[in-house]
Homo-oligomer: A and B are copies of this chain.
């Protein structure tokens, strides 16, 4: 039922990531900066957060991937994202976008669409509502949490991925990853992940880390999501609630070994 080759690939990507320690340049929101930096370190990547217009082009040039996240955006941050993204595109460095709260306010929807229009984005990861908002003008998002199911968003995602020629990932109970009509489903994860802030943002950052070592976006994305979901499953075992769980996810990201990866990821292709 689950794809054995992709499970092997997931394990291999993690091994490569830990061997190469690529720099991941994040222009992200204030809420998750600490947690995603720690998650990236736990994965084996080397995170840097830098948003000044004066340095983003220089910083991204050292990076294995650029992660853009509009969670606490203001217009100057979007300008820096565009600057960094254009330089990344020139240098063929993969870019991943997290359109946090797109659909909730005009600023967020417009900014997300502008980033997609002006940059060559390799992967967009959001919840169902956020992804729908990129496709439809009249979509509704409640704050930054999803009000649409993955199923509702699936068709829109497939079409959007075709139109934009990009990989789209919708995360939820089951994660859906699509590009060029191809659809993969990731069955890893744990319900308690929804009670920790920034798990979506962290998934996006880890996709960035996997993109730095695997240039096939669909594969990098599905294996990254499976790894993060597996860390959630492992972290939940001894967690007493969302606080201890938050830290247990980091522990699991760090301790999951290649064998556990290969045996634990559940990707449906």
A residues whose Cβ falls under 8 Å from a Cβ of B: 23, 25, 29-35, 37-38, 41-42, 46-52, 54-55, 58-59, 62-63, 71-75, 101, 104-108, 142-145, 195-198, 239-244, 246-255
Asked whether B241 lies within 8 Å of A42 as measured between CB atoms, the reply is yes
Asked whether B240 lies within 8 Å of A41 as measured between CB atoms, the reply is no
Residue A23 contacts which of B72, B142, B239, B249 (CB distance < 8 angstroms)? B142
The distance in angstroms between the C-alpha atoms of A104 and B61, with both chains bound, is: 10
Note all chain B residues with C-beta closer than 8 A to A143: 23, 25, 46-48, 59, 62-63
Main secondary structure on chain A at its contact with chain B? Answer: mixed
13 A-B pairs with C-beta separation under 8 A? A33-B72, A46-B143, A52-B72, A54-B74, A59-B104, A59-B105, A195-B254, A239-B251, A240-B255, A241-B250, A241-B254, A244-B250, A247-B247
The distance in angstroms between the C-alpha atoms of A226 and B41, with both chains bound, is: 24
Known interface pairs A34-B34, A250-B241. Does A46 touch B142 (Cβ–Cβ under 8 Å)?
Answer: yes
Which single residue of chain B is at the shortest CB-CB distance from A195?
A: B41
The distance in angstroms between the C-alpha atoms of A52 and B110, with both chains bound, is: 14
Residue A75 contacts which of B42, B54, B71, B144 (CB distance < 8 angstroms)? B54
A30-B30, A54-B106 provided; 11 other pairs, C-beta below 8 A?
A: A23-B142, A38-B196, A41-B195, A41-B196, A42-B242, A58-B105, A58-B107, A241-B250, A242-B250, A243-B250, A246-B250
The distance in angstroms between the C-alpha atoms of A38 and B46, with both chains bound, is: 24
Asked whether A71 lies within 8 Å of B42 as measured between CB atoms, the reply is no
